[in-house]
Amino acid sequence: MTDYYEILGVARDASPEQIKKAYRKLAREHHPDVAGSDAASEERFKDVSRAYDVLSNPEKRRAYDLGADPASPGGGMGGGFGFQDIFETFFGAAAGAGAQRGPIPRARRGQDALVRLDLDLAEVTFGAHKEIPVDTAVLCPTCDGTCCRPGTSPRTCDVCHGRGSVQRVARSFLGQVMTTQPCAACHGFGTVIPEPCPECSGEGRVRSRRTLSVDVPAGVDTGTRIKLTGQGEVGPGGGPTGDVYLEVHERKHDTFVRRGDDLHATLQVPMTAAALGTVLTLDTLDGEREVDLRPGTQPAQVVTIKGLGVGHLHVGGRGDLHVHVEVQVPTPLDDEQAELLRRLAVLRGEERPEARLASSSSGVFAKLRDKLAGR
């Protein structure tokens, strides 16, 4: 049995890259265009090619290592190995794969579009229906995407005869090499437009403003993208439409601050109301709601109203509304008000209060620490 490893001059455990490198070197040396057209060089070139055909194919190489000879009987290049394999070996697989194998379609998919959608807090809380004007490419109403003047049609290219590509012969060290290139006359389409549509200039589409209708779900946030499938621009040649992506940007609210699906608000109350307790009316996104402040309400105390936050996206339900109490100390005081406070201080034994440092586990700083830690 012929020793193909010896023919290529490689070890039996040679890698595919080593086999390919050895073949390239020997093929250049023994190709008839380089070594001459004598019978010995031609036979040597065939042997090298046959050895590479077997050893470059994993299945054939495995069979050969087990004692079989997968090469076709009678010599030659071996089964499945031809000029295209040699061409790709020297010029790369991309040369063969990139060759034009037929006309390219004139109709191509349109591009996607990204549109900014500004929403108020109430719209992201409850959801909203929006009408959005967009400038985009639509199907040409005159030619209906055919790119041709009405009454005419595309004509087969006279240069490539509808193939979309032309072949050129180039000379290399392997001899004459046939290359394929897109047809310059029809730009690879295989057809030409003898009379382009006067409205779209042969594009099959025109620019127009249209309105998109979208139902925005509750719970969207800044950065959320809503996909409108098939609502993008029409492609060249009347091709399929792309998609539209609406990117949500939530406007800042004057009263409420959003954190996730919860809302936060600050309620300013007089010192007397915090001390004595009261019921206040708060204007929420759901209308007026009463807030019950118990006697002795402290500064920074939080009153939570369940279910008055932002809607949960896709899962239903809503977050909560957290009301942060801000106690206002009266200032300035007239004489009568100052006297009343002094009398209160005497009654409470606080006319000369002692300064006491609060425990690290309580007080304003502890609350601030817990808030920053997310507790």
The answer to whether the CB of 348 falls within 8 A of the CB of 340 is: no
Which residues carry a binding-site annotation? 140, 143, 157, 160, 183, 186, 197, 200
CA distance 223 to 245: 11
| pTM of the full structure | 0.63
Which residues carry a binding-site annotation for Zn(2+)? 140, 143, 157, 160, 183, 186, 197, 200
Q: How many residues does the chain have?
A: 375
Q: What is the pLDDT of residues 264-297, one digit of tens each?
A: 999 999 999 999 999 999 999 999 999 999 999 9
More confident residue, 81 or 299: 299
3-state secondary structure of 248: strand
CA distance 227 to 248: 11
**Domains in the chain, ordered, with CATH?**
4-97 (1.10.287.110), 107-145+201-252 (2.60.260.20), 257-330 (2.60.260.20)
Task: Say which amino acid occupies 214.
Answer: V
Taking CA 299 as the corner, what is the angle to CA 294 and CA 305, rounded to the nearest 5 degrees? Answer: 55
Confidence of residue 27 (pLDDT cuts 50, 70, 90): confident
Q: What is the pLDDT of residues 86-141, one digit of tens each?
A: 444 444 444 444 444 579 999 999 999 999 999 999 999 999 999 999 999 999 99
| Radius of gyration from C-alpha coordinates of the chain | 41
Q: What is the pLDDT of residues 331-362, one digit of tens each?
A: 889 999 889 988 988 988 887 777 677 665 65
Residue 224 has a pLDDT of 95
Q: What Å distances lie between residue 60 and 5, 77, 150, CA to CA?
A: 13, 14, 59
Q: What is the pLDDT of residues 174-228, one digit of tens each?
A: 666 778 889 999 999 999 999 999 999 999 999 999 999 999 999 999 999 999 9
- pLDDT above 70 as % of the chain: 82
Residue 76 predicted with pLDDT over 50: no
Phi (first) and psi of residue 197, to 5 degrees: -60, 130
> Is the preceding omega at residue 240 within 30 degrees of 0, hence cis?
no
